[in-house]
Structure 1
Amino acid sequence: MSFYSTSVSSTMATDKDVANDIVIPNPAEDSISDIAFSPQSDFLFSVSSWDNKVRIWDVQGGMPQGRAQFEHQAPVLCTRWSHDGTKVIAGGADNVVSMFDVATGQTQQLGLHDGPVKSMSYLQFGGSNSDVLVTGSWDKTLKYWDARQAQPIGTVAMPERVYTLDSRQMLLVAGTAERHIAIIDLGNPMAIFKTTQSPLKWQTRVVACYNEGDGYALGSVEGRCAIRYVDDEEQRKKGFSFKCHRQTNSNRAPGQPAQSLVYAVNSIAFHPVYGTFATAGGDGSFHFWDKNQRHRLRGFPSFQASIPVCSFNRNGSVLAYALSYDWSQGHMGNRVDYPNVIRLHPTSDDEIKEKKRR
């Protein structure tokens, strides 16, 4: 299924369209793994990285300022904020889930897994209306945490190592090794509602839930996205997949057929207001898409360095994205001169708002 219902040229941005992006040079000393905005502030965000640190940045007034940082004993793979914006959570390859208090600067261990903590999300479910954190680990479990308790309030066994998870409303979706997708109804959070196999042929890199909580998008290493729905009937009507983050190899010999260079889809982020979404990939570009109209809203030029993660702020007025090594070529590909940069792109309605079909 092609996404290109409009001509490619009309949807392509130029270098001019990213010229006003705010640049944070050297926001980390090693590869950036995750970016998360505060739900209570437009310009406050946390950055986790392979240098064992989480840093909190503030770009109020367009001037980037480092506000705080805390450390793990190994690379930090994910970060999120509590709903009230007072705590920053992180999980890392030291198997630890840590919690940093923004006001006091104190860090405490919130929890522990038996393997690296790869992905996390904040939930609100149950009668207490208190924040519950869910963490996914390579120990093949999801664990639920309440900051007021030392032990997890629940553990769910997963089919394989958890690589990615996301939640919206009452939906929680985890993507694991061997292409398993586990769907959980947060009305019954301790049980898997449904497991399915990714429709994409290769390893799942990222899952992101729709704002409505009725489905999710998947991205894989083969430069493909799948648009999925929980309800089988809705899936039959609306589900599809499409190619993205691919380039044509221009260095081919005369007379040779064009080769397609395929890059991983590393990150998917849904716009909090419009429900359109961004993808970012190993080709060094990010794109805005509209799943309902099945077309690309805007494609951006490659920065010639992979983008491991992108994230919208709370009202979608800013997309943060990192230029950093994405580990797609293992340890060998991690060159000393690889950039570590975060850029903040001010989004316009023209780029990101759903366009009604003429």
Structure 2
Amino acid sequence: MSTFSSLGNHNPNKSYEVPQPPSDSVSSLSFSPKANHLVATSWDNQVRCWEVVQSGTNVSATPKAFISHDQPVLCSTWKDDGTTVFSGGCDKQVKMWPLLSGGQPITVAMHDAPIKEMAWIPEMNVLVTGSWDKTLRYWDTRQPNPVHTQLLPERCYALTARHPLMVVGTADRNLIVFNLQNPQTEFKRIMSPLKYQTRCVEAFPDKQGFLVGSIEGRVGVHHLDDSQQSKNFTFKCHREGTEIYSVNSLNFHPVHGTFATAGSDGAFNFWDKDSKQRLKAMSRCPQPIPCSTFNSDGSIFAYTSCYDWSKGAENHNPATAKTYIFLHSPQESEVKAKPRVGSTGRR
């Protein structure tokens, strides 16, 4: 097993270190769509929020509030107005937390197994939850029962939604595409172009396709239109020599349309899918990066460095393990696509 090149330096990219991080591994990060409020869910059963302040390229964060679940929390999302946070996990329930008003969380959704993924769909005013009980459930949070339950072929591992496109990655490498204008019918079912277990999916900003990442250190770029299939490709990343690491997170930049990958090798990289090039490779942290996200204008990239369970529960001791959340202010050269020499704009 190779060693991490940056072993001994927990912050090799000199990112801002968020104070009072969780006491166990972070499972999701999500920024408010309306303000620089960052929420983290974690394996210590907590949902925490920080208020992030920006001054040029300098950032700082202050703990704002937190709530607890009965078991580890696996996922989170914000309502589009930035007032409310949803969180779900191993206690099989979704809590709705009116964060900005200071209200108490209430349970608004339930599954028969842990809830792995969720997304708020503002165009439909519903919350979609994906579970290891092999269902998707759509919730009007004012009602106790789901407005629709969609059976999946296997456990939900990943989900991305940009109305009307939603893509769900399940066990056995299934990728199920939904047109949310007709959510009760599968639009298309695809076998992942990658050979191993799906870890993350992310819809293109133009909703014409999606990215998929897997445990094999590879990303697939997939277009939905049959006439665009020649543009599909896969590429290797988060590898060092013969060591192959999982791609844990995929995030499109909200302005430039480039994207970030984060992996179990402790690195995050910025890419341009259209020119098929890596824009920037960042230094590797000594621990994996299980999740990451951009804020609403792409000026802050949040990522966490902590244990990611890839070596099993028996190799994890929360009492001695360290969890970090970092904020990185990307330079424009890191996230803006470079002009292609001699190109007319078509590849």
The normalised TM-score by structure 2 is 0.91
1:58-107 Cα offsets, whole Å, 9 max, x none, are 12253321111111111000011100011010011010011001113310
**Structure 1 stretches of 5 or more lacking a match?**
1-14, 249-259
**1:251 paired residue number:** none
Aligned pair in 2 of structure 1 residues 84, 45: CA closer, same or farther (>3 Å)? same
Give the superposition deviation at 1:312: 0.3
**1:206 paired residue number:** 200
Aligned pair in 2 of structure 1 residues 65, 224: CA closer, same or farther (>3 Å)? same
SS in 2 for 1:332: helix
Whether the aligned pair in 2 keeps the contact of 1:125 and 1:187 (CA below 8 Å) is no
- Picking from 309, 331, 340, the partner of 2:291 is 309
Q: Which amino acid aligns with 1:100?
A: W
Whether the aligned pair in 2 keeps the contact of 1:48 and 1:76 (CA below 8 Å) is yes
Whether the aligned pair in 2 keeps the contact of 1:305 and 1:323 (CA below 8 Å) is yes
Write the distance in 1 (CA, Å) between the matches of 2:313 and 2:103: 33
Write the distance in 2 (CA, Å) between the matches of 1:116 and 1:59: 30
**1:18 paired residue number:** 13
Give the superposition deviation at 1:282: 0.3
SS in 2 for 1:328: coil
> Do structure 1's residue 40 and structure 2's residue 71 form an aligned pair?
no
Write the distance in 2 (CA, Å) between the matches of 1:124 and 1:101: 16
Q: How does 1:1-358 map to 2 (within 5 A)?
A: 18-19=13-14, 21-41=15-35, 43-61=36-54, 62-102=59-99, 103-126=101-124, 131-234=125-228, 236-248=229-241, 260-335=242-317, 336-358=319-341
The normalised TM-score by structure 1 is 0.88
Write the distance in 1 (CA, Å) between the matches of 2:282 and 2:28: 21
Whether the aligned pair in 1 keeps the contact of 2:156 and 2:170 (CA below 8 Å) is yes
Write the distance in 2 (CA, Å) between the matches of 1:84 and 1:75: 26
Of 53-62 and 312-321, the range deviating more from structure 2: 53-62
The alignment-based identity, stated in percent, is 43
Write the distance in 2 (CA, Å) between the matches of 1:97 and 1:244: 34
SS in 2 for 1:193: strand
Whether the aligned pair in 1 keeps the contact of 2:19 and 2:62 (CA below 8 Å) is no
Give the superposition deviation at 1:337: 3.1
Whether the aligned pair in 2 keeps the contact of 1:166 and 1:207 (CA below 8 Å) is yes
Give the superposition deviation at 1:291: 0.3
Write the distance in 2 (CA, Å) between the matches of 1:278 and 1:25: 24
Whether the aligned pair in 2 keeps the contact of 1:26 and 1:340 (CA below 8 Å) is no
Whether the aligned pair in 1 keeps the contact of 2:11 and 2:285 (CA below 8 Å) is no
Q: Which amino acid aligns with 2:116?
A: K
**2:7 paired residue number:** none
Q: Which amino acid aligns with 2:86?
A: I
Question: C-alpha root-mean-square deviation of aligned residues, in Å?
Answer: 1.5
Whether the aligned pair in 1 keeps the contact of 2:30 and 2:40 (CA below 8 Å) is yes
Give the superposition deviation at 1:17: 8.6
The runs of 4+ residues in structure 1 deviating greater than 6 Å are none
1:84-140 Cα offsets, whole Å, 9 max, x none, are 0110100110100110011133100010001100011111335xxxx2111100000
> How many equivalent pairs are there?
326
**1:6 paired residue number:** none
Write the distance in 2 (CA, Å) between the matches of 1:70 and 1:17: 31
Q: Which amino acid aligns with 1:53?
A: Q
Give the superposition deviation at 1:334: 1.3
Give the superposition deviation at 1:338: 2.6
**Structure 2 stretches of 5 or more lacking a match?**
1-9, 342-347
